[in-house]
């Protein structure tokens, strides 16, 4: 199977497994797991923040960012295509008690500053207060698009001026940094909290980190305990995370090149709607030829050994990652082309 369903499919490398086997361990709820402590320090340093918190998932990190930086009854602004809105089971509302107010994402994943400005509620007895802006970089549903440091700085300044805090869902932030050839620190300059995932493009089996000021992280640590995310000898998985951060970042370029290769290949097959020049990182979104419904396309390709995910009733998503080679992309393009020909 050439599995382009998601980079969450990556399995740990041999080096990760060895590091997991050898990891020095302790009780992380008591702050005594040396491997978790090492991972948190490394993450904070790389992101240019005071502290970091190891969490079981990206979704938990995003939830903790909301729980820590809002109060029930307040309103948060987030993109109408954001992962936090689409795929996190409404946790911010259900568990955080906040109103999720969606604002339009541009096709490149940005939210226009004037839209943010217009959506912030003025003080009024009838209104909830708007207290948090959530961004996403790279942007999953917009096709792995990148928010530039300039954009992030400008929009965060606007939010801060109006009394809002800013959280960045940076599940794949290292892809953005590698594509722009800058340090990840430069991408997250003035956001108040940021999370990123170890378990996607970086190949670790489990885990995310939530980073911010010392005070923010200590509060989030308590919220993590409340939602049951305090893990004991978590160094077993943190060890793989350290390898991810030390060894797996530079290779992301290969995934980006493979994504472009796939996109240009699809553009050469009659009927596909795709803009290969817009592919920025490891996510490719496309429409199959009109005569083939998305569900049929995805099912038929799975039978032929290529797995995609369905984004919408008319859109398919492919994600490249460490376990898919350039030769696999060539093979996938061949299978797709044969299938399309057989349907014409
Ligand atoms: N995304 C997954 C699915 O949930 C859709 C995927 O296959 O892409 N933020 C962003 C931007 C994400 O893409 C994801 C996972 C998360 C957060 C949540 O991470 P996990 O699954 O570790 O909780």
- Which fold would CATH assign to domain 251-342? 3.90.1150
* Ligand 1 contact via 58 beta carbon (within 6 Å): yes
CB 171 less than 6 A from any atom of ligand 1: yes
Task: With CA atoms as reference, report the closest residue to 104 among 66, 142, 150.
Answer: 142
Distance 40 CA to ligand 1 centre (A): 20
Atom of ligand 1 nearest to the CA of 309: 7
Q: What pLDDT score does 189 carry? A: 81
CATH, range 7-247: 3.40.640.10
280 CB near ligand 1 (under 6 Å): no
169 Cβ closer than 6 Å to some ligand 1 atom: yes
**CB neighbourhood size of 80 (10 A):** 13
Going from the first residue of the chain to its last (344 residues), give the mean pLDDT of each consecutive group of 10, the final group possibly shorter.
Answer: 98 98 98 98 98 98 98 98 98 98 98 98 97 98 98 98 98 98 95 98 98 98 98 98 98 98 98 98 97 97 98 97 98 97 87
CB 211 within 8 A of CB 193: yes
Question: Atom 5 in ligand 1: which residue has the minimum CA distance?
Answer: 87
DSSP letter string, 232-271: SSTHHHHHHHHHHHHHSSTTHHHHHHHHHHHHHHHHTSTT
Cβ pair 296, 229 in contact under 8 A:
no
> For residue 16, how far is its CA from the centre of ligand 1 (angstroms)?
21
Whether 251-342 and 7-247 are alike in CATH topology: the answer is no
> Is the CB of 136 within 6 Å of ligand 1?
yes
Ligand 1 in reach of 197 Cβ (< 6 A): yes
What's the pTM value of the predicted model, to 2 decimals? Answer: 0.98
Domain-wise residue ranges, the chain: 7-247, 251-342
Q: Is 6 close to ligand 1, i.e. is its CB under 6 Å away? A: yes
């Amino acid at each position: 199977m050439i599995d382009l369903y998601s980079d969450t499919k990556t399995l740990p490398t041999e080096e990760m497994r060895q590091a997991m086997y050898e990891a020095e361990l302790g009780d992380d709820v008591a702050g005594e797991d040396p491997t978790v402590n090492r991972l948190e320090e490394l993450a904070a340093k790389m992101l240019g923040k005071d502290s970091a918190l190891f969490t079981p998932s990206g979704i938990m990190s995003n939830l903790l960012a909301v729980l820590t930086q809002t109060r029930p009854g307040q309103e948060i602004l987030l993109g109408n295509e954001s992962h936090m809105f689409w795929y996190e089971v409404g946790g911010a509302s259900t568990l955080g008690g906040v109103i999720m107010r969606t604002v339009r994402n541009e096709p490149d994943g940005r939210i226009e500053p004037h839209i943010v400005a217009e959506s912030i509620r003025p003080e009024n007895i009838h209104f909830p207060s708007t207290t948090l802006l959530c961004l996403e970089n790279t942007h999953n549903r917009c096709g792995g698009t990148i928010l530039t440091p300039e954009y992030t700085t400008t929009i965060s300044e606007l939010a801060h001026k109006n009394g809002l805090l800013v959280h960045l869902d940076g599940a794949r932030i290292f892809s953005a940094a590698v594509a722009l050839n800058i340090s990840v620190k430069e991408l997250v300059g003035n956001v108040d909290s940021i999370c990123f995932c170890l378990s996607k493009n970086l190949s670790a089996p489990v885990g995310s980190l939530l980073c911010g000021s010392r005070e923010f992280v200590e509060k989030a640590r308590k919220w993590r305990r409340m939602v049951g995310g305090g893990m004991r000898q978590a160094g077993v998985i943190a060890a793989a995370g350290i390898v991810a951060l030390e060894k797996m970042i530079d290779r992301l370029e290969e995934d980006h090149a493979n994504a472009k290769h796939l996109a240009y290949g699809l553009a050469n097959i009659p009927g596909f709607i795709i803009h290969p020049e817009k592919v920025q990182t490891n996510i490719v979104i496309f429409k199959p030829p009109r005569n083939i419904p998305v569900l049929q396309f995805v099912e038929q390709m799975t039978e032929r050994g290529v797995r995609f995910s369905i984004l919408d009733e008319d859109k398919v998503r492919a994600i490249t990652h460490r376990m898919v080679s350039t030769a696999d992309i060539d093979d996938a393009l061949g299978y797709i082309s044969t299938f399309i020909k057989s349907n014409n």
